Amino acid sequence: MITVKNETGFAKMAVAGRAVKAMHEAIREAAKPGITTKELDVIAADVIESHGCTSNFLNYQGMGAAVPFPGVICASPNNVIVHGIPGDYALKEGDILSIDAGAIYEGYHGDAAFTMAIGEVPEIVARLIDVTEQSMWAGIEQVKAGNKTGDVGHAVQTVVEAAGFSVVTEYVGHGIGTAMHEPPQVPNYGEPGTGIRLKEGYAICVEPMVNIGEWKTTMLDDGWTIVTEDGSLSAHFEHTIALTPEGPKVLTA
Ligand code: MG
């Protein structure tokens, strides 16, 4: 069900959004060669707790998952697209790392993701990260009352494909409110003027997942980790946007 948020709901989502932003900044700061993704998870847990929030990822078991998610962050290096489990993997120079992690404040959710390079990466890899972020902002520009989800997806897809990269189609953006994943689904592709109409009171997560190679994905045996089928690198960016009476507001930036 779509929760239509009033001023109080959006105010609580804004608190969650600030916690998410602080958590992401702390991870960005700490993500250096040698640190493990489990160590980043511990840092993330501390930050959201210090903001009076709880994790919406820890023990999450939506989307038909066989087992609850065992981390506060999804830590997805290199060819991992999304839902990487924090563990013993130590970052190394030349990696890319996608972090997806959210927070709950008094029942209201925030959700965001980013990809960063660990040290120096080849030019095409830096471009993958830039293009993915740009495609997210192009999508966010279309998140306004009266537009449709297809307007958002079309904007994302246009930026990605112009750069010669591939949009992941099996995982999508979503509504957010008193649950992390609410309708409507917000695919990262589509035709303008199609899909679900966005309305004041909605909040939407725009989250392109972009591969250097083909769009196809595979799930690992852990029941969570999604990798590119062709082994190519993948990037992911996400923000939570509220459609308030004063217009759209990005709550996690
Ligand atoms: Mg999300």
CA of 137 to the centre of ligand 1 (A): 15
Report the chain's mean pLDDT, rounded to a whole number: 97
Residues with CB under 5 A from ligand 1 (ion): 111, 205, 207
Sheet holding 166-167, edge to edge: 166-167, 209-211, 234-236
Query: What domains appear along the chain, each with residue ranges and CATH number?
Result: 7-234 (3.90.230.10)
| Residue with token string 């029941």 | 223
Contacts of 48 (CB under 8 A, 6+ apart): 19, 20, 23, 54, 55, 72, 103
pLDDT in tens, 140-168: 999 999 999 999 999 999 999 999 999 99
CA of 252 to the centre of ligand 1 (A): 12
CA of 93 to the centre of ligand 1 (A): 27
pLDDT in tens, 202-215: 999 999 999 999 99
Q: Is the pLDDT of residue 101 over 80?
A: yes
Q: Looking at beta carbons, which pairs linking 212-216 to residues 24 or more positions away fall under 8 Å?
A: 212/124, 212/125, 212/128, 212/165, 212/166, 213/166, 214/166, 215/166, 215/167, 215/168, 215/169
Amino acid at 236: H
